[in-house]
A and B are shown apart, each in its own frame.
Chain A
């Protein structure tokens, strides 16, 4: 390879520096989550308990006529638990960002010669890692308690990748709310909304069995498409349509969340 080509392919110093900053901020956010149990609990413990209660109490739901053909209710519910964990990790990320603003730590970052976007991207990168952790955790729980990943290892990896993407996509909304409000309690206030969005989707219950108007809302809720994209490799195998719909739904949420967080950051920097 010629020197000129090598120079062209080499990442620019600015890009490398930004990547280093994003990595450092992301690592800091992850340490924060692991050192403060109240950040980690909603992501792993709450959805696990919810999954246990759901599967234990409503396990015979699969006997309902028109219930999708699945090996067991746990297999069906795993995707719901994962999307719930990803949304909760997005809210937790937003709370952590708001705490940074409240404590003045954000000012330390803004007063540094770094890209402003790196502050938000660093946070979203750590939220994506939390999504990976949630994906791995629930697949492990599922396998331990008898669920089967029909698409095997590639299917499990696909679910984990989708979980990471979903977490960072919703993380944009958490970040936007944190940046606009600057108050952790405001971000914390959206926790109930997470449950509304999830229960008005096919994450925990088949959309075709929901009553109106929940069914119509579920049909259009991006969370339904995301849940189905994660459920498909678990209950049947990887197929194109649900995957494409899920990826498009994640892309839509990501675009909207990123746009809102950029707007929130601009507003905050304008003082």
Chain B
């Protein structure tokens, strides 16, 4: 049984605004699925339908085996939800919020307290647990939000843009926690506008644009659809013609750009060592060599005709992750 199964899901709003125009997707149990798209693409509307916050106009969806309309209550018991812009009460303390969340899920008081304390520790907020949420940083809020979504040990976790607006360190901390949860067996459905996030975390990626699925597959499959890895070479010594002749044996020569030779390599990085040996044998010295892999932005560009907003913002974090137990 799939953890999430969506069949031609449609949602229109007043004024015939078609936010979601017929999404089909399937997420296997234990998978991390990233729903990638720019602002206004229909990601959040889809998540709101899957989490029973919004009724579909047409189509159907099941989550954890339950229909999101007919068995909404059972869906709510099975899922954890951390929505965009962490919806936390700034006047409550972290510990109070965890306790409330436990009560909302019908967990006995003592058990809710035990689980709440454990989760607060897990996301590294023990020292801030009795402070009001209003005093938390953006990263702390997101971690607390994530912890509240886990208090009832859900089998499917929905994360709506979990790292939007966070600094690289906080983003890395959330990524780390999502990976751990997935390793423990939780299915994760996350929406993001960050390419790097989808690439780093997801086993499969769905690209949504204007309420329609533009592409779906593993990051590797999607990248393979739009092109092969490209080797870019800048010569120190030797003629460009001779160099082209040598590297042309390993792949398809592409038009040079700014004096840099470009060759598409079907074998990717595996071809680099033979190329260097061949160039050396031909007496050609390379000043700079760079293997450029296709990115999900290339996929997005290919499928939608434009770049994804926030693509650069989603670059890999450089700082160390915040402490997450």
A270, B92: Cβ atoms closer than 8 Å: no
Q: Does A36 contact B (CB under 8 A)?
A: yes
Determine the main DSSP class of A at the interface with B. Answer: helix
Residue of B nearest to A16 (CB): B106
Interface residue tally of chain A, by bracket? 20 to 34
A112, B104: Cβ atoms closer than 8 Å: yes
Count residues of chain B with CB under 8 A from any CB of chain A: 30
How distant is the Cα of A28 from the Cα of B90 in the complex, in angstroms?
12
A36, B76: Cβ atoms closer than 8 Å: no
Q: Does B291 contact A (CB under 8 A)?
A: no
In the complex, what's the smallest C-beta–C-beta distance from B75 to chain A, in angstroms? 9
How distant is the Cα of A20 from the Cα of B96 in the complex, in angstroms?
15
B53, A111: Cβ atoms closer than 8 Å: yes
B104, A109: Cβ atoms closer than 8 Å: yes
Q: Which residues of B contact A105 (CB under 8 A)?
A: 87-89
A114, B104: Cβ atoms closer than 8 Å: yes
Q: Which residues of A contact B55 (CB under 8 A)?
A: 270-271
Q: Which residues of A contact B164 (CB under 8 A)?
A: none
A32, B54: Cβ atoms closer than 8 Å: no
Of B53, B77, B100, the contact of A107 (CB 8 Å cutoff): B53
Q: Does A41 contact B (CB under 8 A)?
A: no
The residues in A between 19 and 38 inclusive whose CB is less than 8 angstroms from any CB of B are 20-21, 24-25, 28, 31-32, 35-36
Q: Which residues of A contact B83 (CB under 8 A)?
A: 104, 107-108, 111
A112, B105: Cβ atoms closer than 8 Å: yes
Q: Which residues of B contact A270 (CB under 8 A)?
A: 55
Q: Which residues of A contact B89 (CB under 8 A)?
A: 28, 32, 100, 103, 105
A113, B73: Cβ atoms closer than 8 Å: yes
The winner among A17, A20, A28, A36 for most chain B CB atoms within 10 A is: A28
B91, A108: Cβ atoms closer than 8 Å: no
A113, B87: Cβ atoms closer than 8 Å: no
Q: Does A117 contact B (CB under 8 A)?
A: no
The residues in B between 44 and 101 inclusive whose CB is less than 8 angstroms from any CB of A are 48, 51-55, 73, 76-77, 79, 81, 83-85, 87-89, 91-92, 96, 99-101
Given contacts A24-B100, A107-B83, contact A113 B106 (CB under 8 A): yes
Of B51, B88, B91, B103, the contact of A111 (CB 8 Å cutoff): B51
The residues in B between 266 and 299 inclusive whose CB is less than 8 angstroms from any CB of A are none
Q: Does A110 contact B (CB under 8 A)?
A: yes
In the complex, what's the smallest C-beta–C-beta distance from B80 to chain A, in angstroms? 9
In the complex, what's the smallest C-beta–C-beta distance from A34 to chain B, in angstroms? 9
How distant is the Cα of A31 from the Cα of B96 in the complex, in angstroms?
11
B100, A28: Cβ atoms closer than 8 Å: yes
How distant is the Cα of A108 from the Cα of B132 in the complex, in angstroms?
18
A113, B103: Cβ atoms closer than 8 Å: no
Given contacts A31-B92, A111-B76, contact A21 B104 (CB under 8 A): yes
A113, B53: Cβ atoms closer than 8 Å: no
Q: Which residues of B contact A103 (CB under 8 A)?
A: 87, 89
Q: Which residues of B contact A17 (CB under 8 A)?
A: 106
How distant is the Cα of A103 from the Cα of B81 in the complex, in angstroms?
15
In the complex, what's the smallest C-beta–C-beta distance from A27 to chain B, in angstroms? 9
B54, A113: Cβ atoms closer than 8 Å: no
Q: Which residues of B contact A31 (CB under 8 A)?
A: 91-92, 96
Residue of A nearest to B132 (CB): A35
5 contacts between A and B (CB under 8 A): A31-B92, A108-B101, A110-B53, A112-B76, A271-B54
Interface positions of A (Cβ within 8 A of B): 17, 20-21, 24-25, 28, 31-32, 35-36, 100, 103-105, 107-114, 270-271
List 19 additional A-B contacts (Cβ < 8 Å) besides A24-B103, A31-B92, A107-B53.
Answer: A17-B106, A20-B103, A21-B103, A28-B96, A31-B96, A104-B83, A105-B87, A105-B89, A107-B87, A108-B87, A109-B104, A110-B52, A111-B53, A112-B105, A113-B77, A114-B104, A270-B55, A271-B13, A271-B53
